[in-house]
Amino acid sequence: MKSLFILTLILLGTFAHAADKPNIIYILADDMGYGDAGCYGQKILKTPNLDKMAAEGMKFTRHYAGCTVCAPSRCVLMTGLHTGHCRVRGNGVGSIPDEDVTLPKVLKSAGYHTACIGKYGLGKPLPLDDPQRKGFDESFGYVGTSHAHNFFSKAIIRNGKIVDLPNTVIPGSFKDAHDYSDSDLVGTGVAPLDGRKAWIPQLLADDVQRYLGERAKAKEPFFLYYAFNIPHANNEAGKNSPLGHGMESPDYGEFKDKDWPDAEKGFAQFIRFLDSEVGKILARLKELGLADNTLVMFSSDNGPHQEGGHQSDFFNSNGDFKGIKRDLTDGGIREPFIAWWPGKVKAGAVSEHVSGFQDVLPTLAELCDAQLSTETDGISFLPTLLGKAGQQQHSHLYWAFDEQGGKLAVLKWPWKLIHLNTGAAPKGAKGKGKPKPLEKLLYNLETDVGEETNLAAEKPEIVAELEKLMQASWRAP
């Protein structure tokens, strides 16, 4: 049975005033794998701040992204609906209607000031003020997904308005292969090496610090959604460009003398920068006296990529899991997830609770006593966070990915069923337009973490059970 969390847009009375409610910061990495952080097994790259965050908070080991690529995963996070029900199910055309319920709208109804800094990317085409339409009081960064993959854009967007940057682009360097919306057109163009004056991930990090300083003086609680656009590749110049490999950082820092490919030096520096900024946020909260009343969460939108010359196995980014971004094996969808709240979330706790992006909305709604009359596919994991009894469990988790011929997956722990080639043939397949045969993969995640042994032929009764859940979990967007 589908998990439903029924809400009613009524503010309850656990907190007498909005000022008594906790601040909330949700930090989202872009294409960071389960194994990219030290606290999740990374052996080469150091992530001392994420490791400290986990040591001082709770680490989840069975937390799943909404999808295996950017836009649909973020749609699940913002709506509490899995990809069988949400509006955006791939990185192509699709967006959330203005009237739909979203996480920032829910928190605004509970008295929160809401902000999005970084990569918004909730589908396409999108108007420049789409974050405001979906409930954010303020926003700074990228609205369109394609724009977010240009680290040296000539402009960025603040509150629906274009803000020019000192970066310059080569005239006529538009990437005509893409169907850019207005928000993506802002970022069109390739910056020559001497035209790269402002590295946007740094601008976003600076704005986060600006926002925290301002909100420390305010009376109402705040919700900050800080969405990094790294360690995703810088795709502005395309493949095989003489202007860079796609993993360009202003410098390679401590990795510049490593005997590594330049793309891996860039990836390592991205992880170092991301980890450092997480540490700065936690330190700033303590400095401002906000730490004890602020819940901070960290995760990633999908598994590790192989773009910009980076190879996911160079640093073993997917850990013990199989697959990467665009796969529905756990390497593509199981994510690091850390929750930090001094005095409320038990330090050093590790949870095996099976959860996903669709659970964030009902969890935060319960936390701040906001309820809305709509159904979600999520279940609040607030009892797990606070060490309370009564944690409900999912009957199953579900994913639909409308690219690469179509992929579906359902997880009823410990069994996972994956369907490949559910729709049109992938790009480049022989016999243009001719679908490949449907492929069924069944794994037991308790005994086969790496999803190496397909048990579909041996367990037809489990396949049949999970296929019924698959069928019941989908509706037209």
Maximum distance among all Cα pairs of the chain, rounded to whole angstroms = 65
Element (H, E) at 464: helix 460-472
- The model's pTM is 0.93
Q: How far is the C-alpha of 54 from the C-alpha of 389, rounded, in Å?
A: 22
Q: Where are the alpha helices (DSSP H) in 25-91?
A: 48-56, 70-79
Among 271, 342, 282, CA closest to 312: 271
Other C-beta atoms within 10 Å of 439: how many? 14
Residues 6 or more apart whose CB falls under 8 angstroms from that of 72 comprise 66, 83, 86, 88, 89, 90, 91, 401
Whether 322 and 336 have beta carbons less than 8 Å apart is answered as: no
Q: Which long-range contacts (CB under 8 A, 24 or more apart) does 380-386 make?
A: 380/5, 381/353, 381/355, 384/58, 384/351, 384/353, 384/355, 385/58, 385/295, 385/339, 385/341, 385/344, 385/345, 386/344, 386/345
- DSSP for residue 35: G
Among 71, 146, 133, CA closest to 104: 133
Q: Which two tokens stand for residue 150?
A: 């240009």
Among 38, 52, 67, 12, CA closest to 327: 67
- DSSP for residue 426: P
263 vs 37, 54, 154, CA distance in Å?
18, 28, 23
Residues 204-229: b if buried by 16+ CB within 10 A, e if exposed: bbebbeebbeebeeeeebbbbbbbbb
Residues 6 or more apart whose CB falls under 8 angstroms from that of 252 comprise 258, 262, 265, 266, 268, 269
pLDDT in tens, 369-428: 997 768 899 999 999 999 999 999 999 999 999 888 999 999 999 999 999 999 833 343
Q: How far is the C-alpha of 362 from the C-alpha of 94, rounded, in Å?
A: 24
Q: Which two tokens stand for residue 315?
A: 């640093």
Beta-ladder partners of 400? 408
Spans of the chain, pLDDT less than 50: 1-17, 175-181, 424-432
Q: Give the pLDDT confidence score for residue 3 in this predicted structure.
A: 41
Match 């913002």 to its residue by tokens. Answer: 78
Q: Give the pLDDT confidence score for residue 243 in this predicted structure.
A: 75
Q: Give the pLDDT confidence score for residue 428 in this predicted structure.
A: 38
Q: Give the pLDDT confidence score for residue 188 in this predicted structure.
A: 67
Domains and CATH numbers, the chain: 5-394 (3.40.720.10), 404-472 (3.30.1120)
Cα angle value 224/230/234 (rounded, 5°): 135
Q: Give the pLDDT confidence score for residue 174 in this predicted structure.
A: 52
Other C-beta atoms within 10 Å of 257: how many? 8
Q: Give the pLDDT confidence score for residue 433 in this predicted structure.
A: 55
Q: Give the pLDDT confidence score for residue 177 in this predicted structure.
A: 32
